[in-house]
Amino acid sequence: MRLLSTLWRPGASRVVLLLGPSGYGKTILMAQAAENAELCVPLNLLEVEGDAHALVEAMAEALSDRFPEVAHEIHTGNGERTLPARQTARLLGHLPPALILVDHAERLCADSETWLLELVRALPQQHRMIIAGRTLDSFEVPYLVATQHVRVIGPEQLAFDNHELHLLASEAPHAPNSAALQHLHGWPLGVALAITGAYGQTAAELIRVLLRTLPRDLQRVLPHLAPYDTWTDSLPPSLGLEVPDNWLGTLLMARWPLLQNGQGGFNPHEVILGVLEEQLRRDTQEWQRAYRQAAERALAGDRPLHAFGLLLNADLVSEAAHLAERVVPTLMSRGQFLVMRQVLDRLPKEVTTGSPVLTRHYGIALIETEQLQAGMGYLQALAEAPGTRVQVLPALAHGMCLQARLLDAKALIEEAKGYLGQYGVEEQLELLSTEGNILRDIGHPREGLELLLKAARLAETNNAEKALGTAMIGLNASYLRLSKLDEAMNAVKKAHLIFERLGMVGRLPIPLLNAALLHAAKDELTPARDLLHRALNMAEEQQARSLTSVYFALGGICLKEGKTEEATGHLMKAVEHARVSGRPDRQYMAELILSEALRAQFQHVEADRHLGLAESLLELHPQIEENATLAGLIQFQQGQRAYAQGRGAEAASHFRAVPTETGEISEWAARAGLYRALIAHEQGTLGEEHIRAFMELHRQQQSRRYLYPDLAVTRPVLREAVRQGWFVPELQEFAFGQLQDQRHRLYIKTLGALTVTLNDEPLQLVGSNVTRAQELIALMALVPPATAGELQRILIGEKKGDHRNALSTLRQSLVRATGLPHPVVQDASRRYKYSDELDVRTDIDELRRAVRTRNILALRKLLGQGTEFLPGIDSAWAADLRETEIPEVLSDAYEVLGTEALERRAFTEALRYYEAVQHLNPAEHILRALIEIHRALGDTAKMQNTERELQVLFPN
């Protein structure tokens, strides 16, 4: 009754699709629905051919008694060619309201499925339809669900819920309690049999009873199918097992819960597989033989990981280990380090460490998935044994490079050169690339470049693509060190193509990251950010060691954009990932740049603390100084600290010590030159030579935004230089900014991370409560004007500080940036609002316009960075935003994108958009669309989770 009462609730789709295995009550539900219909048109495809022509004939036959004229027209139109679905729908429009039932729809061929779904689209308004089947494979189903043409009731909903189990158990005199029925997972036929008690009350007993009703030869065979998650007609004969003809049909007629997978096979219910395996386990030898055979079959089908799991499931650990020794080198060659680690994690530790091959690969997998210390432990254990030392030297040298132990790594490479004949071509070339990288990092970039070019040439000669990709990554860094940005970009593009062609998902984030850095060096921040977000998604999915560097790069881009708080967040993540993964050099770099981001916000105490942490890392890991770039970089941040503390001479000394010949930190060298000129200006000794020294370094940069973090401090010397007539065309913009219109344009970007610009430049907030002030700027633009009390409640919360600090910061910052005496005013009701002299806009206006015009490109651009600041995400005042139209605008935008993706059958993309809609507005039709998208993607677990959520949120 639960499902029957909700079939046709107000606002629900007029077409219901019942999908589930046999024995899940689909036909019974249809019969119950037919009892309540005045006119019913039943069509059972078990009784007709499984094509659209026969379906139309059956429809005409069903209507012939009560509506002979309509039946005659349908029959006449359905001649040699099948009557088109839309024409059929027009003829059905002459009927009074009817319920059309189509049972066993899985018998339809693909063309007939398309015909039926076209009929669904064109179904006249007065009619309703129920379609039942074990499966319906058309790609149209997710789109029809998303557009609310169809509502799907799947196995999770057809199954009995806990309340129904409780009622059934309480009403039947000899039934088990509802807890005892849980193991049946709501399987209606199984529950019904258990309640009668005639066949036992456990899953095992019921399956045994069902087994006993089958032919004996089929009873003997079925347990041997327990290792297979897909059953086909040809499966038993291919295993040398004899079964009756149409054995699958026999199981379906006996109401076994088999879900058709649409590819000629069936997926057995987990209850069946579990019971069959229990029976198979009674004979250990036969059990292991069956699983061994299944593993061999999986290997023959190029499913080695599945074969590995089957062997472990049957306690064939030794055979699983031997298989792993064959599989993991392939996984490593493809850069699938996370999969490799997950495979080896399943083996007992003593088995892994007992095999040098597995130990070496496990160590490499740990290193590449952010577990550097643990991975090095395995490699060092092999290096201590004479018999395995030689083979592990290249991997150990690579690990030491990641630990910033460059001289130790170089010594290992020198040792490995004595055994080059024992390495393959790929390993020899990667040794050469590693040596080139080390030479570059210890201060010999040209010598390192020569070795990397040699490695690339040899890799091309020997057709060693993986080694060529590795050499290209090294060349990218070397060219960047030498300020050859075009050559660096060409190298990284080649590396990306190689890694993508080889499917090396664990390596792909590295060329994306390096390409982003090159774009950022030219102030091409939009493509840089796009590349970094792609790299971030891949690195997070693969738990790649490059994740730290991606966060570091995102922080650097945010600094160039003037988004200092967002930069701080990314850099803190970089620090944490570097700390956890045991990368002291990356942690050191992140701490240094984090101190810059904090200093740009005038948080000098915190900036000093993080700089102190970087200095402590230098003491704890003195090998960091082996890298000339890292050793020189800290001079800049130490100079900033000395300057902020009023020690000008010491600051100037540090700024002079920043290397000027290193391309990777050339921007810091130029910034140091500007600080030296600033100090001279404050000491009254500024001369044109100071500005000229800065300009020599400045002109080498392809970026102009690199100075943005310092402008709040360094503008006085730039303005003095312009007043003196020194380099006026190049410095005027930095000194005074661009010319402004009469009205200042205040633009608040709320989609993605919150940012505020004034006249297209980042608004520098200065005061005691910068974070709250930035939120206040957006709040005043998004919600109606508020009184002081409302601001206190919305922004801060009762008894949690004072909104006046944020308001004061906002006023001071706007006064300083615009020159307006009163940028924030109060109206007659004492509600705060912006002055009319400010042109205040938000990107919500653009989003609303893009939704209205269904501008897909604009929507993708606006929503490409998420909606972290807006409702549905953690925000102190999201509740107040929910009372505005913003959630509806966001939801509509994501739904437009999701529907467009479904039209293109881009299910993965559609899933992302519909999940965003679900987060903002978990409407019933959205959840149903998600279920069908998961079904189309074959993600059974997520489909079931969403079905459960649907039941909880919309129980009726």
Q: 119-140: per-residue pLDDT in tens?
A: 988 899 899 999 988 777 666 7
Angle CA 147–151–157, to nearest 5: 145
Q: Is the pLDDT of residue 526 over 80?
A: yes
**Percent helix, strand, coil in the chain (nearest 5)?**
65, 5, 30
How does DSSP assign 843-908, residue by residue? HHHHHHHHHHHT-HHHHHHHHTT--TTSTTS--TTHHHHHTSSHHHHHHHHHHHHHHHHHHTT-HH
Distance CA 325, CA 358 (A): 6
Give the type of residue at 576: E
What is residue 877's predicted lDDT score, i.e. its pLDDT? 46
Q: Give the C-alpha separation, 380 to 584, whole Å.
A: 19
What are the structure tokens assigned to 502, written together?
Answer: 């080889």
pLDDT at 565: 87
Q: What is the pLDDT of residues 401-416, one digit of tens each?
A: 988 899 999 999 999 9
Q: Is the pTM of this model over 0.85?
A: no
- Taking CA atoms, 152 is separated from 107, 158, 160, 546, 879, in Å, by 18, 10, 16, 42, 33
Confidence of residue 484 (pLDDT cuts 50, 70, 90): confident
The domain spans of the chain are 1-158, 198-320, 332-423, 652-735, 744-842, 844-953
At residue 94, does pLDDT exceed 60?
yes
Average predicted confidence (pLDDT) for the chain = 84
Say which range, 235-249, 404-418, 570-584, 763-777, has the weakest mean pLDDT. 763-777
- Please report how many Cα atoms fall inside a 13 Å half-sphere around the Cα of residue 766, on the Cβ side: 11
Looking at domain 844-953, does it have CATH number 1.25.40.10? yes
For residue 680, the model assigns a pLDDT of 94
pLDDT tens per residue across span 343-388:
999 999 999 999 999 999 999 999 998 899 999 999 999 999 999 9
The CA distance from 413 to 392, in Å, is 11
What is the spatial distance between Cα 951 and Cα 931, in angstroms, rounded to a whole number?
A: 12
Examine domains 332-423 and 844-953 and report if their fold is the same. Answer: yes
CA pair distance 137, 260, nearest whole angstrom: 10
Q: What is the pLDDT of residue 782?
A: 75
What's the pLDDT tens digit per position in 102-122?
Answer: 988 888 887 888 888 889 888
CB 465 within 8 A of CB 432: no
Question: pLDDT (tens digit, 9 = 90+) per residue, 709-731?
Answer: 898 899 999 999 988 889 988 88
Phi, psi (rounded to 5 degrees) for 218: -75, -35
821, with CB counted inside 10 A (0-12, 13-18, 19+), is: exposed
Residue ranges with strand state E in 237-387: 258-260, 266-268
Q: Which CATH class is domain 1-158?
A: alpha beta
> Which residues sit opposite 745 in a β-bridge?
839
- The two beta strands, 266-268 and 258-260, are antiparallel
Q: With a cut of 50, say whether residue 798 has pLDDT above it.
A: no
203-254 pLDDT tens trace = 566 767 777 778 888 888 888 888 888 888 888 888 888 888 888 878 877 7
- What is the arithmetic mean of pLDDT over 768-779? 73
CA separation, residue 807 to residues 400, 772, 777, 825, 832 (Å): 51, 8, 9, 11, 10
Structure confidence at residue 874 (pLDDT): 43
Contact 197, 174 (CB under 8 A): yes
Q: 433: pLDDT confidence band, cut at 50, 70 and 90? A: very high
316's CB contacts (< 8 A; 6+ apart) are: 288, 291, 292, 295
Say if CB 881 and CB 870 are below 8 A apart. Answer: yes
- Per-residue pLDDT at 923: 84
Q: Flag whether pLDDT at 177 surpasses 80.
A: no
Pairing mode, strands 150-153 and 258-260: unpaired
**If you write DSSP's letter for every residue of 2-25 in order, what string do you get?**
HHHHHTT-TT--SEEEEE--TTSS
Give residue 182's pLDDT band: very low, low, confident or very high (50, 70, 90).
Answer: low
Q: Please say if the pLDDT value at position 873 is more than 50.
A: no
Q: pLDDT grade, residue 5 (50/70/90)? A: confident
CA angle 124, 127, 133 (to 5 degrees): 110
pLDDT digits (tens, 9 = 90+) for 248-292: 878 877 777 777 665 566 777 777 787 788 888 888 898 999 999
DSSP class of 940: H
Question: In the sheet that 40-44 helps form, which strands lie side by side, from edge to edge?
Answer: 40-44, 99-103, 128-133, 15-19, 150-153
**Residue bearing tokens 């409560």:** 769
Predicted confidence band at 784 (pLDDT cuts at 50, 70, 90)? low
CATH no. of 332-423: 1.25.40
Residue 854 gets the label, from left (phi > 0), alpha (psi -120 to 50) or beta, of left
Say yes or no to pLDDT of 155 above 50: yes
The whole-number average pLDDT for the span 526-534 is 87
Per-residue pLDDT, 740: 36
pLDDT, position 620: 92
Q: Where are the alpha helices (DSSP H) in 603-703?
A: 604-620, 628-644, 648-656, 666-682, 688-698
Q: Mind listing the pLDDT tens digit for each residue in 488-502?
A: 989 999 998 898 888
Q: pLDDT at residue 33 above 60?
A: yes
Cβ atoms of 561 and 755 closer than 8 Å: yes
Whether residue 478 is predicted with pLDDT greater than 60 in this model: the reply is: yes
Closest CA to 575 of 608, 617, 535: 617
Task: Judge contact between 516 and 500, C-beta under 8 A.
Answer: no
Q: Is the pLDDT of residue 50 over 90?
A: no
Q: What is the dotted CATH code of the domain comprising 744-842? A: 1.10.10.10
Contacts of 305 (CB under 8 A, 6+ apart): 327, 339, 343
- How does residue 738 score in pLDDT terms, banded at 50, 70 and 90? very low
Average pLDDT on 540-548 reads 88
Q: Give percent above pLDDT 70 in the chain.
A: 89
